[in-house]
Amino acid sequence: MPLSNEEVARLARLARLSIPDGSADATRKQLDSIFVLMTQLQSVDTTGIEPMSHPQELPARLREDAVTETNRRATFQAIAPQAEAGLYLVPKVIE
């Protein structure tokens, strides 16, 4: 079930990656070979098998509702690409 270049472009859009013009074919071919490997999964009948999303199938441990964090904005924003007036700056967000 080989992918089309359009499908690869759709995945890239969803993942916010840009595939440079000219490498689309190469990317698609490599992904195809990965999907060939992954398609081996379809060889097994798993009817009735419960999916396992976690190695330890335990219930969640809950945290008590208490404030434990203090303000560390200055430290966090010291490593921000662009921050001002306590805000992270990004290209204009349009709703």
The residues in 18-77 that bind other proteins, with binding defined as CB under 8 A, are 18-20, 27, 30-31, 33-44, 46, 49-69, 71-73, 75-77
State the Cα torsion 2-43-41-26 to the nearest 10°.
Answer: -20
Question: How many residues touch other proteins (CB under 8 A)?
Answer: 72
**Judged by CB under 8 A, does residue 10 bind other proteins?**
yes
Cα 36 from Cα 38, distance rounded (Å): 5
**Judged by CB under 8 A, does residue 6 bind other proteins?**
no
**Judged by CB under 8 A, does residue 4 bind other proteins?**
no
Q: Which are the contacts of 1, defined by CB distance < 8 A and separation ≥ 6?
A: 35, 39
